[in-house]
Structure 1
Amino acid sequence: MTPHRPMPRSLARLLLAGLTLAGAAMLPLTAQAQATKIKMVLNWKYEGPQAWFFIAQDKGYFKAEGLDVEIDQGAGSAASIPKVASGAYQAGFGDLNAVIDLASKRPAEAPVAVYMLYNTPPFTIVVKSDSPIKTPKDLEGKTVGGPATDAALKLFPGFAKLTGIDASKVNITNMAPNLREQMLARDQVDATFGYVTTVSFSAKAMGMDPTKDLRFIRYGQYGMDLYSNAVFFARDFVKDNPKAVAGFVRALNRAIGEVIANPDMGMDAVMKREPLLKRDVEKERLLFTLRSDMSHPEIARIGLGDVDDKRLAKAIDILVEANQLSRTPTPAEVFDRSFLPPRDQRPSKLF
């Protein structure tokens, strides 16, 4: 039998170094393989007030949390909810009231909101400044238009009930989102549904001055003190991937703080995705959204991202009664604050 000869030390060192290098080379592949994939659908086409999602993606904040996030454009704040409920997406940004509606009808399918952004109700009915429509009741006998997926349109039955409108006397017509302001300007409709920010900037892009040419009948001024757009996840995904949800929220919250501090940086990320946008208009839209849609006084107390349970419960009751829903979801069914970063790490003041 040939006697066993020990391996020369130089050869052993070479083999050990090779194994170490091979292991190091595989680390990025291993990390990539372990990343949790999240497909997210936005509320609308690319625009300024989505900057924080893009910053979290571009600066690697999602990646640092072990996430591989893909972000798609949306088709309306209410339209993103069924896309997540169906399983086509794991996450979305859209109208919390559509989540409440689905939670009442099909609770097992309804997504769960985890971070509230639009804490002031942006829902509105828009008329021209010289319109004879002065109050909600004046809408009777008139034609009001809006995209089929528009959240304000979907909330109209509730608004009508609260304000004493006979909804059967209001003619509602649908149009493509890009035609809304044009049809109003040309008197093809008497009024339109929409978000204050969206309509204002779409009108401005047409050469109108929304402060002079338009009037806004805001739902919040007539008792519908509702929350609006939030980040939400599929219910099953929340149950099966709690660490991924918490990581996503952490990354997003960090990006929001940075965009608030440096809006121009946020606009760089937006323009990277859609170079044909008008940068100055989108920056103005971003700042307007921060002031108008995200600065409810409650954030000084509870911080951006959270909700007031009493206010949310009241909002749920308004929707259930106004839309004659068969079941009243609890606040905990539609919003889960357990994934939020600590209070002192979330914005308390946006300006």
Structure 2
Amino acid sequence: MTYLTSFGNFGRDAYAWVAKDKGFFREAGLDVDIKPGSGTGDNISKIEAGAAMFTPVDLTGLLLARGNGGAKSIVVVAGIQQRTMAALISLEGNGIATPKDLEGKTIADSPGSVVRNLFPTYAKLAGVDATKVTWVNGAPANLIGLLASGSVAAIGQFVVGEPTVESVAKGKQAVVLPYSDVMSDLYGNVLVTSATIAKERPDLAKRFIGALMKGLAHSIDNPDEAGRILQKNVPASAAVPAAAECTLMRAFVRPEGSGAVVGTIDTKRVARSIELLQDAGAMPAGVTPEQLISAELTPRP
């Protein structure tokens, strides 16, 4: 089967490589081909087209897509991050210290990125005039380079991207503006598949989910090993920044009060997220958690 990472091959996605390298997929009777994803929008399209069977996408991005009439065949089967890691990252010296400082600046991100698509909602809640911010396109693998070279003032990233940004922009500290500062109920990435697989091949889905969640737990509990495994399988990835990303992600995978089981999803929180997006005018009424989440497949607390 084919699995897409959420966004390139950074430390935040090392858990899939850990699940493969440690034999978790093999123990579940699965042969998994891991390919780099390109963000929520593109990943959703590939699942719908049958080009991949499972992928992580940002739940908020999925909600926005469903609210706009898309992603109708996508089913959520596990939670990866219990709160959103979406963020904008800049560098010291770029004149960005608060959200308001984004006005008049240029930000790079891929067109289908949830950071970019959620920005109007973030801007509204953070008191930013979104019409005064310029967005340019950038491929996932090139974003940090664009920031480090000074081509743009900020990039769309996950908060765990901070160590990787600083490793490329040598000598400069990263400035991180997390979306969770103004949207605390939002989940981060969730694992999705097609409605067809969820309905017709639930045993396959359960085996894959179990193996991937085992890799996720192992990667945040053993970040240094996860970084080495990622670099071994993807030589262009650096082990040290990848390990740092896994360390930072631990608090998002197992936040305080969430319990020890990774992958769970609270439908009441999802309902509050939907309400927040509706109140911000980002999506129409009518979408419910039950339309998106497979209660039969998601890990139990």
Shorter-chain TM-score category?
0.7 to 0.9
* 1:266 aligned onto 2:226: yes
Q: Which residue of 2 aligns with 1:34?
A: none
In structure 2, the residue matched to 1:194 is: 157
- How far apart are the structure 2 equivalents of 1:325 and 1:260? 34
Whether 1:280 aligns to 2:240 is yes
Residue type of the alignment partner of 2:16:
F
1:241 positional shift: 0.7
Measure how far apart 1:102 and its partner are: 2.5
For residue 118 of structure 1, give the secondary structure of its aligned residue in structure 2. Answer: coil
Out of 174, 182, 200, which is 1:214 matched to?
Answer: 174
| Map of 1:333 onto structure 2 | 291
Matching residue of 2:254: 295
How many angstroms does 1:87 deviate by?
2.1
- AA in 2 matched with 1:56: A
* CA drift at 1:178: 4.2
1:125-156 per-position Cα deviation (integer Å, ceiling 9, x unaligned): 23333444443333333323323233211110
- Which residue identity does 2:243 align to in structure 1? K
The answer (yes or no) to whether the contact 2:82–2:253 under 8 Å persists in 1 is yes
1:151 pairs with 2:114: yes
Pairwise CA RMSD of aligned residues?
A: 2.7
Amino acid corresponding to residue 217 of structure 1 in structure 2? L
Q: How many residues align?
A: 301
Contact 2:80/2:263 (CA < 8 Å) preserved in 1?
Answer: yes
Contact 2:220–2:246, Cα closer than 8 Å, also in 1: no
- Counterpart pick for 1:119 among 82, 87, 90: 82
State the distance in 1 between where 2:220 and 2:183 align: 30
For 1:238-264, what per-residue CA distance to the aligned partner results, in whole angstroms no more than 9, with x for missing partners?
A: 111111111111222333333344444
- Runs (4 or more) in structure 1 with deviation over 4 Å come to none
Output the CA distance in 2 between the equivalents of 1:204 and 1:113. 34
Following superposition, the deviation at residue 201 of structure 1 comes to 1.0
Q: Distance in 1 between matches of 2:140 and 2:262?
A: 29
Tell me how far 1:227 sits from its aligned partner. 0.9
Cα distance, 1:77 vs structure 2: 4.1
Indicate the residue corresponding to 1:170 in structure 2.
133
Distance in 2, Cα, partners of 1:178 & 1:53? 18
Query: Which residue, 34, 43, 46 being the options, matches 2:6?
Result: 43
Contact 2:3–2:34, Cα closer than 8 Å, also in 1? yes
Q: Distance in 2 between matches of 1:63 and 1:87?
A: 22
1:187 CA drift (Å): 4.2
User: Mean alpha-carbon deviation: is it higher for 117-126 or for 239-248?
Assistant: 117-126
CA contact (8 A) 2:39 2:113 kept: yes
Q: Are the equivalent residues in 2 in contact too, given 1:264–1:283 (CA < 8 A)?
A: yes
Aligned to 2:48: 85
Give the alignment partner of residue 232 of structure 1, picking from 192, 197, 206.
192
CA shift, 1:328, in A, is 3.5
Superposed counterparts of 1:96-115, under 5 Å: 96-106=59-69, 109-115=72-78
Please say if residues 105 and 327 of structure 1, whose CA atoms lie closer than 8 Å, have aligned partners that are also in contact: no
Look up the SS of the partner of 2:237 in the other structure: coil
Q: Unpaired runs of 5+ in structure 1?
A: 1-37, 344-351
Deviation at 1:100, TM superposition (A): 1.3
CA contact (8 A) 1:184 1:191 kept: yes
TM-score w.r.t. the length of structure 2 is 0.86
Counterpart code for 1:170: V
Give the residue type in structure 1 aligned to 2:247. L
Q: 1:170–1:46: structure 2 CA closer, same or farther, 3 Å change rule? A: closer
Deviation at 1:59, TM superposition (A): 4.1
Fraction of identical pairs, as percent: 26
* Aligned CA distance change for structure 1 residues 280 and 199 (closer, same or farther; 3 Å): closer
Contact 2:78 2:263 in 1 (8 A): yes
SS of aligned partner of 1:216 = strand
More displaced 10-residue stretch of structure 1: 151-160 or 52-61: 52-61
2:273 is aligned, of 297, 302, 315, to 315
Aligned-partner Cα distance in 2 for 1:128–1:48: 20
Unaligned runs of 5+ in 2: none
Determine if contact 1:105/1:325 at 8 Å carries over to the other structure.
yes
User: Does structure 1 conserve the Cα–Cα contact (< 8 Å) formed by 2:65 and 2:71?
Assistant: no
TM-score normalised by the chain length of structure 1? 0.75
Mapped partners of 2:91, 2:21: distance in 1? 41
Q: What is the SS of the residue equivalent to 1:233? A: strand
Partner SS state of residue 266, structure 1: helix
Read off the aligned partner of 2:178 and give its amino acid letter: R
Distance 1:342 1:167, change over 3 A: closer
Contact preservation (8 Å) 2:264, 2:299: no
CA–CA distance in structure 2, aligned partners of residues 259 and 324 of structure 1: 34
Give the partner amino acid of 1:253: M
